[in-house]
Amino acid sequence: MDLEAGFDAQLDKSGVGFDERDAGLLRAIDDHGSLNAAAGALGRSYSRSQRRVVELEEAFGPLVVRERGGSGGGGSTLTDGARDLLAAFERLTAEFTGVAEVEETVLDGTVVERDGELATVETPAGTVRAIVPTGSRRVRLAIRADAVTLHTPGALPDRETSARNRYRGTVSTIESGDALARVALDIGDDTRLTALVTRESIATLALSPGDEAVASFKATATRAIPAQRDATDERTDD
Amino acid sequence: MDLEAGFDAQLDKSGVGFDERDAGLLRAIDDHGSLNAAAGALGRSYSRSQRRVVELEEAFGPLVVRERGGSGGGGSTLTDGARDLLAAFERLTAEFTGVAEVEETVLDGTVVERDGELATVETPAGTVRAIVPTGSRRVRLAIRADAVTLHTPGALPDRETSARNRYRGTVSTIESGDALARVALDIGDDTRLTALVTRESIATLALSPGDEAVASFKATATRAIPAQRDATDERTDD
DNA sequence: GAGGGTTGTGTCCATGAGAGAACAACGGTC
DNA sequence: GACCGTTGTTCTCTCATGGACACAACCCTC
């Protein structure tokens, strides 16, 4: 199934959203030195672009320094605020593309104990500590492969790390890419945890299929969602 | 600055995007047992909703089983494919809200070595291994607080874990919430790394401000973005 | 066979986003 | 002082999205 995750990032302030389109506009202004040239290069109308800049500035503060007249007729440059905003936006999109691309393993489970937003969940692979939205007993946990760290078995003292979830298993497959590798770890009861690590780590841990290994991940990095509604099938049916 | 991160998640297939609006429609169909009632409950027009379902099915396969006539006039129910799609979408939005909410520390640095998408970056806090888009020397690293695990100093044998980045520092502040806590760690040269851990972890590590601690995070979990463009100021200027 | 509530169409209209064009104001350079 | 390429402002036009409405087809119940 070529199901691809996408998104539309947005930075909100005072009800106005700064999105990819706005980022492109600011970048073009920075590149071309004028709002007019920027709009032209983007194939957008000047009037709309100008309006949009004003709209954005009403929410985010001064973004563009305009100069009218003068040699060359004038021009526009970005303020430091605009650069900060752009940087924050790019950081956000980078994080989003990260989650959109990375693989994750899903575990179904039931909440057995809760302490605020944190809960212990019973899953086929064992008990997991995770952040769980309040008010749901049956949940589905998602663990991103880039959040799972691998260890040699027995190496990790139990009390001296903040990674609350820890599972021993046997390496089933290792798919090596350029510099990264995808490791699948069998953790009993037919569940398989995948970790994304560097090839360097594979080497230093001396991992190969069949070996024992320990996988750990933080409670704060595993997100839970309410489980399928068909489990209870509470249809309204009018 | 009350700058809030937002997003619009989307699952793409065959050029069609399944978004929050579509998810709401499917959920409403599941709740009310008919497309008609679903559209009514959402305050949307039936005709558009029906068309949208057809559009989605052309890309994602059968989603809704329609029944025309019969007792009660008929009705519609979701297929297993629709439930899977909904679950995948909810998982995606859960992950996105995770990154949108969590705090991150940013580090500016320069790439000193590269191996495919992986690179070693020199930062004020030391050298960091991270995933870096090709073709950029000056980069900005973003490290999410939920990706940082804390350890007692000296506890971690160097060769036996896959967390490639490891920094010793002193705890500066601990902000405890309900079940979670936010720990700021001073890592020399005026840089501060923040970690989001459970209060439970604070207790077992016996952490308090002023203590020494070690923070670690994976190379595959730290994303880099090209640094500010004003550093070189390569304006086109036509 | 009539009734009823559904699925399927098709058409019309309101709304909003954005392009395009026109024009005034500006302030350096020549 | 004329010129020029900006910014700023306003208008109209087009296009896409989506609601409102009408109507046929369906099939079980009564």
Q: How far is the CA of B45 from the C1' of D13 (A)?
A: 28
Candidates A161, A228, A233, A237: best to mutate against B (most CBs of B within 10 A) is A161
Confidence of residue B155 (pLDDT cuts 50, 70, 90): low
Percent of chain B topping pLDDT 90 = 82
Beta-carbon contacts of residue A3 (< 8 Å; ≥ 6 apart): B11, B12, B13, B88
Compute CA distances A143 → A18, A24, B91, B200, whole Å. 30, 33, 10, 20
Residue type, B38: A
In angstroms, rounded to a whole number, what is the distance separating the alpha carbons of residues A148 and A143?
Answer: 8
**Is pLDDT above 70 for A119?**
yes
Q: How far is the CA of A226 from the C1' of D28 (A)?
A: 37
Beta-carbon contacts of residue A232 (< 8 Å; ≥ 6 apart): none
pLDDT averaged over chain B? 91
- The CA-CA-CA angle for residues B111, B114, B116, to 5°, reads 135
Average pLDDT of the residues in B17-37? 97
**Within 7 Å: CB of A40 and strand C?**
no
Whether the Cβ atoms of residue B145 and residue B213 lie closer than 8 Å to each other: no
Average pLDDT of the residues in B204-232? 87
Least confident piece of the model among A65-69, A132-136, A206-210: A132-136
Beta-carbon contacts of residue A236 (< 8 Å; ≥ 6 apart): B31, B32, B33
The pLDDT assigned to A156 comes to: 56
- CATH 2.40.50.100 domain position(s) in chain A: 104-226
B 6-45: CB under 8 A from A:
6-13, 17, 30-33, 37
Compute CA distances B222 → A192, B187, B217, B218, whole Å. 24, 17, 8, 7
CB atoms within 10 A of CB B89: 21
Compute CA distances A171 → A106, A183, B3, B9, B108, whole Å. 18, 7, 43, 33, 36
Counts of helices then strands in chain B (DSSP H, E) = 5, 15
Nearest residue on chain A to B155, alpha-carbon basis: A160
Instruction: Look at the block and give the residue holding tokens 């070996």.
Output: A211
**Is pLDDT above 50 for A238?**
no
Token duo for residue B10: 């989307």
**Is pLDDT above 80 for A230?**
no
B 39-58: CB under 8 A from A:
none
Greatest Cα pair distance, chain A, in angstroms, is: 75
Q: How far is the CA of A73 from the C1' of C24 (A)?
A: 15
In angstroms, rounded to a whole number, what is the distance separating the alpha carbons of residues A114 and A127?
Answer: 13
3-state DSSP assignment of residue A13: strand
Distance in Å, alpha carbon of A113 to nearest chain B alpha carbon:
13
pLDDT averaged over chain A? 91
The pLDDT assigned to A136 comes to: 83
* Residue-wise pLDDT tens digits, B63-109: 999 998 888 888 999 999 999 999 999 999 999 999 999 999 999 99
Closest by CA to B34, choosing from B44, B26, B22, is B26
In angstroms, rounded to a whole number, what is the distance separating the alpha carbons of residues B179 and A178?
Answer: 40
Q: What are phi and psi of B168, to 5 degrees?
A: -95, 140
3-state DSSP assignment of residue A43: coil
Whether the Cβ atoms of residue A25 and residue A53 lie closer than 8 Å to each other: yes
In angstroms, rounded to a whole number, what is the distance separating the alpha carbons of residues B35 and B53?
Answer: 9
Average pLDDT of the residues in A40-48? 97
Whether the Cβ atoms of residue A28 and residue A46 lie closer than 8 Å to each other: no
**Is pLDDT above 80 for A1?**
no
Record: contact A223-B95, CB cut-off 8 A: yes
The pLDDT assigned to A228 comes to: 65
In angstroms, rounded to a whole number, what is the distance separating the alpha carbons of residues B217 and A157?
Answer: 18
Beta-carbon contacts of residue A95 (< 8 Å; ≥ 6 apart): B99, B104, B142, B144, B223
**Within 7 Å: CB of B51 and strand C?**
yes
Q: Which of B140, B161, B177 sits opposite A151 (nearest CB)?
A: B161
A 200-219: CB under 8 A from B:
200-201, 204-205, 216, 218-219
- CATH 1.10.10.10 domain position(s) in chain A: 10-101
* Residue-wise pLDDT tens digits, B41-71: 999 999 999 999 999 999 999 999 999 888 8
The pLDDT assigned to B237 comes to: 32
Beta-carbon contacts of residue A216 (< 8 Å; ≥ 6 apart): A148, A149, A151, A156, A161, A163, A165, A166, A167, B149
The pLDDT assigned to B2 comes to: 83
Q: Is B97 exposed, middle or buried (0-12, 13-18, 19+ CB in 10 A)?
A: middle
**Is pLDDT above 60 for A135?**
yes
In angstroms, rounded to a whole number, what is the distance separating the alpha carbons of residues A125 and A108?
Answer: 10
CATH code matching the domain that covers A10-101, chosen among 1.10.150.130, 1.10.10.10, 2.60.40.10, 3.40.50.300: 1.10.10.10
In angstroms, rounded to a whole number, what is the distance separating the alpha carbons of residues A198 and A183?
Answer: 10
The pLDDT assigned to A86 comes to: 97
**Is pLDDT above 70 for B158?**
no
* Residue-wise pLDDT tens digits, A12-27: 999 999 999 999 999 9
Compute CA distances B137 → A165, B109, B121, whole Å. 36, 8, 9
Greatest Cα pair distance, chain B, in angstroms, is: 75
Average pLDDT of the residues in A148-159? 76
Residue type, A212: E
The pLDDT assigned to B232 comes to: 39
**Within 7 Å: CB of B65 and strand C?**
no
**Within 7 Å: CB of B195 and strand C?**
no
Task: Give B1 or B106, the one with higher predicted confidence.
Answer: B106
Confidence of residue A159 (pLDDT cuts 50, 70, 90): low
3-state secondary structure A14-80: CCEEEEHHHHHHHHHHHHHCCHHHHHHHHCCCHHHHHHHHHHHHHHHCCCEEEEECCHHHEEEEECH
The CATH class of A104-226 is: mainly beta
Average pLDDT of the residues in B186-211? 94
Average pLDDT of the residues in A56-76? 92
Whether the Cβ atoms of residue A64 and residue A82 lie closer than 8 Å to each other: yes
Q: Which helix (H) or strand (E) holds B74?
A: strand B74-78
**Is pLDDT above 50 for B233?**
no
In angstroms, rounded to a whole number, what is the distance separating the alpha carbons of residues A10 and B94?
Answer: 16
